[in-house]
Chain A
Amino acid sequence: MNPLYLEASVVVLGIFLLMAEAFSGPGAKRGIAYLGILGLLGILGATFFADPAAMNASAAYAKFYSADPLALFLKQFALLTTVIVLVMALEYAPTVEANLPSERRGAGLGEFYTLPVLACAGLMWMASAVDFVMIFVSLELVTITFYILVSYLRRNENSLEAGTKFLVLGALSTGFLVYGITWIYGVTGQFNLAAIAAKLPLLDQAAAPALLFGFGLVLIALGFKIAAAPFQFWVPDVYQGAPTPVTAFLSVASKAAGFIVLLRVVQTFLVVPALQEKILPLLAVIAGATMIFGNLAAIPQSNLKRLLAYSSIGHAGYLLLGIVSIGAPFAGTAIVFYLAAYLLMTLLAFLVMTIVAQATGGDDLANFNGLNQRAPHLAFALMLAMLSLAGIPLTAGFLGKLFIFECAIEQQHWGLVILGVITVAAGFYYYLKVIRAMYWQQPADPDAPEIAVSALAKLTIALLCALIIWLGVYPAPLLSLLP
């Protein structure tokens, strides 16, 4: 099957959902989400039958669209994330309804379930983009969808503030991206990454500063997307203000797509040793700063959503460490494995958080006090997510860190490795803070009833838990899938 059909069917699914929404009654909004989940799962199954050889290599689209194993893996990644985000959105529906101005029951819910599907199409294109124009267009498709989603809770000041910040900074980073692409195009005369890589060694020395300037601008723009220091300052406010499922989507899928684009762009420029000498130290500094900032700033947080926001910055730091060590033969696999582990544990944390926050009325750490007594299974799942994020062995998170650090040691980035170890130890502190709240502290209201969890959410949580442990103990099947 031609892989192009994958994105096409996601878009068709999104449009179909919008139409269905228009004709459905106020009580049937949940059906939209169920349809979306089913449709995405079907497309997820279809990805395993996608065959890049079915593409017409001479066609125009082949120049900007690649369906290599990395791209296919990321498409599956985006689809899975969207499915789980929709599960989360179902749990989150009461908050959405309460924060929309319309008095009509179920108003706005249909779009809340549909927009992630459209963003998913953008992410899938982004995974395949090997051309700056394509990168730009798909990035914008994703970002514009997120502008709407982040500020979706129109009666909630925090959500509006988050939306404004995201809009302004997103626009700024778009500007950087376009400007950077212009410079690179000016020097090489090419948009296509492969063509640029072929052209670079032929250029004379005088072009290097202009190229580096262009690359630096693109790096800044992507730095915004993946929340690397010093372009991370928008993250805490936006993550905290946005609806929780959107935050999860933003911190997993959007970040992963950003990393894949970064990986492709960096690899293009590394073909020239002279550029490599300049680019790798720059990335190393960014990686170090991101690890330090993310992990240290997370320590004093008392709101779980904000804590996860900072922790996601920290994880971006470890992923950047993998990109810095790209010279190691295993580095590409290590990065993708880390992304997969990050997807599982972050989505698990956000899913449990959505459910608990609905029941306890907030996502401060204090709302999780004594959760073990109210909902032992949810507490266990969140503990597992935290342990995996912290990097305890026999969880997926540990193996992810292990692979990345192994590549870094192989490339002899000793300074970054030491920094990484210190920040991982700091990470233990704030992740265990969550476990402390759930297991040590007494609940505010000891007689509160047990938290009800829908069957779909239960199933998703159990699956995520099982996958985290499975990948942590027996990673071979996934690793054999990876490029």
Chain B
Amino acid sequence: MSPLLSLILIPLVTAAFCMAGSAPRRISLFGAGANLLLSLYLLASYNLEIGGFQFVSENALFPAYGLSFSLGADGLSMVLLLLATLVTFAAVWVTPPVEKSPGMFYACLLLISGGAIGAFASIDLFFFYAFHELALIPTFLLIGIWGSGDRQRIAWKVTIYLAFGSFILLLGLIGLWLAVPEGLRTFDIRLLQQLGYAGLLTPGPAVYLLLFFGFGILIALFPFHTWAPEAYASAPAPAAMLHAGVLKKFGLYGLLRLVVPIFPEEIQQFAHLVLILLLGNILYVGFVTLAQKRLDLMLGYSSVMHMGYAFLGFVALNQLGLAGLSLMLFAHGLTVAALFALCGEINRRTGTLEFSELGGLAGVTPKLGLLFGFAAMASVGLPGFATFASEIMIFFGAFARGAVGSFNWFQTATALALWGVVISAVYMLRAYRNIFWGARGSAVKADTADISSGVRWAVILLLAVLLLTGFRPGLLLDYLNPVFAYLP
């Protein structure tokens, strides 16, 4: 069995065991841990000198149509697979005791993970799409059954929104497929990329826009972002970690995988539109984030806001910007996962996430305070964390698109986007102060227990990886840079 297939099957089989058997927590921790080790092993055995897609396995399903179940991973997929297994392991680890049918809860988590891993490891267009869609239903169940607040309405909204986005994406993919000259028609992403590099595949602006907005809705591109904050606020912490940390990265991965190689001209043609929308993400959503009065909503909006930087790297369309974007997928995924894990823990300890009822928490729960401080700094992009490395690469990459002397669109947008860093520093530090410092809030008692050991070690793991890759971004960039080496 090919190693990538095992990487997909382990969570799916573990999920089946969780539904059927007892002790779901132990089984899923074991499964997620094994998967993490496997992905580390694959990362180590990926041959950087050869590059390209490795661990390839192909099973032709329908040759006349060019459909086959093919798996393979290049540097970009490898990094995302590591992200997926890492966050899955952390999400399973931080899961508090589940009252309502725990087996199904863990099964849903693992199904999301399996869907995301499948999408990252597929080099067949059909399964690339299908695996992502597969993860929508567990999300629906997770929010609907175990969510908080107005969970039913929110689960509806998210699912319909994402399904709609996926169908637009599907239309784009069909358009892309039909644009391939007859006789060469294939679902093989590698071949599509090659055709794109060679300039033989020019589906035109309509297909580009379908794909861009299809992926954009999944990434919570302004103004299609309204599903995300509510969903993350309502979802149980492990589900929010997996969705914001991993599944949402599918959209950006799709942009990098399909749109960048095939649509370089269209990206430039519509660059102005993208720049305006991404400023909407950074500045408009940034100000909305400032106005939030609950931690979970604030984190949700902040995660939407950071997607603006990602689009900046995308539209820069040079090696620096795209490699920065890929690194950001990884760094941002780990950061939001850590923050949502801590957010869930605060809610469990104090019973509230309203800033007005919290305060002085660090006095009673110093470890929680320290870890939240680290995670908040990582989110702001403090040097030393991988988030800093990725953001600075994106900013330099985008700025480099300009002319010397006068500011062009790219440089103006970059300058404005830089203010986003200030905005995020303001809301993060303010949240940190409101929750952990100052006078003790009404929900904080002297006997409020400190962070549980499961959450503590899971968050430490995530932060350690962030710090490691922050000081040595080369560890990951060695995998990412060759993917975009053909660009200036």
Contacts and interface: CB of A to CB of B under 8 A. Distances in A.
A440 interface: yes
Given A393-B129, A393-B134, A436-B152, A405 B160 contact: no
Contact of A475 (B62, B171, B177): B62
A398 B170 CA distance: 11
A421 interface: yes
A457 interface: no
A392 B136 contact: yes
Interface of A: 387, 392-394, 398, 402, 405-406, 409-410, 417, 421-422, 424-425, 428-429, 432, 435-436, 439-440, 473-476, 479
Contact of B156 (A392, A432, A473): A432
Interface string B168-190: 10110011011000000000000
A425 B144 contact: no
Contact of B130 (A394, A409, A417, A435): A394
A398 B167 contact: no
B163 to A, nearest CB: 5
Given A392-B134, A439-B144, 6 more contacts: A392-B133, A393-B129, A393-B133, A402-B174, A405-B174, A421-B168
Interface in B240-259: none
Interface string B127-167: 00111011011001100110000001000100110011001
Interface string B49-86: 00000000000011111010100000000000000000
A439 B141 contact: yes
Nearest to A412: B178
B61 A440 contact: no
A137 B65 CA distance: 39
5 contacts: A393-B131, A425-B160, A474-B62, A476-B67, A479-B65
Contacts of B131: 393
A428 B165 CA distance: 12
A440 B152 CA distance: 9
Given A394-B134, A436-B152, A424 B159 contact: no
Contacts of A473: 61, 69
Contacts of A402: 170, 174
B257 to A, nearest CB: 18
Nearest to A414: B206
B64 to A, nearest CB: 8
B61 A476 contact: yes
5 closest residue pairs by CB, A with B = A393-B130, A476-B62, A425-B164, A393-B133, A421-B167
A298 to B, nearest CB: 14
B129 A421 contact: no
Contacts of A439: 141, 144-145
Contact of B167 (A394, A425, A475): A425
B171 A405 contact: yes
Contacts of A421: 164, 167-168, 171
Interface of B: 61-65, 67, 69, 126, 129-131, 133-134, 136-137, 140-141, 144-145, 152, 156, 159-160, 163-164, 167-168, 170-171, 174-175, 177-178
A422 to B, nearest CB: 8
Q: Which of B67, B131, B145, B167 is packed against the most chain A CB atoms within 10 Å?
A: B167
A406 B178 contact: yes
Contact of B160 (A410, A428, A476): A428
A410 to B, nearest CB: 6
B61 A398 contact: no
A440 B159 CA distance: 15
Contacts of B174: 402, 405-406, 409
Nearest to B177: A406
A289 to B, nearest CB: 20
Contacts of A432: 140, 156, 159
A387 to B, nearest CB: 7
A387 B63 CA distance: 27
A83 B163 CA distance: 35
B178 A474 contact: no
B140 to A, nearest CB: 7
Contacts of A417: 171
A483 to B, nearest CB: 14
B373 to A, nearest CB: 38
Nearest to A472: B130
A87 to B, nearest CB: 26
A448 B126 CA distance: 43
Contacts of A405: 170-171, 174
Contacts of A479: 62, 64-65
B178 A398 contact: no
A474 B167 contact: no
B271 to A, nearest CB: 25
A404 to B, nearest CB: 11
A428 B156 CA distance: 9
Nearest to B175: A409
Given A398-B130, A474-B61, A476-B62, A410 B178 contact: yes
Contacts of B69: 473
Q: Which of A393, A406, A421, A439 is packed against the most chain B CB atoms within 10 Å?
A: A393
A394 B62 CA distance: 14
A429 B159 CA distance: 8
A175 B17 CA distance: 59
A473 B126 CA distance: 10
Contacts of A406: 174, 177-178
A432 B171 CA distance: 22
A392 B137 contact: yes
A354 B86 CA distance: 45
A228 B152 CA distance: 33
B43 to A, nearest CB: 28
Given A421-B171, A439-B145, A409 B62 contact: no
A295 B68 CA distance: 32
A410 B174 CA distance: 9
A439 B134 CA distance: 18
A440 to B, nearest CB: 5
Nearest to A427: B163
Contacts of B126: 393
A122 to B, nearest CB: 34
A406 B172 CA distance: 11
A357 B440 CA distance: 56
A400 B169 CA distance: 17
B178 A436 contact: no
Contacts of B152: 436, 440
Contacts of B178: 406, 409-410
A432 B145 CA distance: 13
Nearest to A476: B62
B62 A425 contact: no
A372 B316 CA distance: 50
Given A392-B136, A406-B178, A475-B61, A428 B159 contact: yes
Q: Which of A428, A435, A440 is packed against the most chain B CB atoms within 10 Å?
A: A428
A387 B167 contact: no
B163 A425 contact: yes
Contacts of B62: 474-476, 479
Contacts of B168: 421
A436 B137 contact: no
Contacts of A425: 160, 163-164, 167
Contact of A428 (B141, B163, B171): B163
A299 to B, nearest CB: 11
A421 B65 CA distance: 23
A199 B451 CA distance: 84
A429 B61 contact: no
B173 to A, nearest CB: 9
Contacts of B170: 402, 405
Contacts of B130: 393-394, 398
Contacts of B137: 387, 392
A417 B133 CA distance: 20
A476 B64 CA distance: 9
A428 B170 CA distance: 15
Contacts of B144: 436, 439-440
Nearest to B133: A393
A297 B156 CA distance: 18
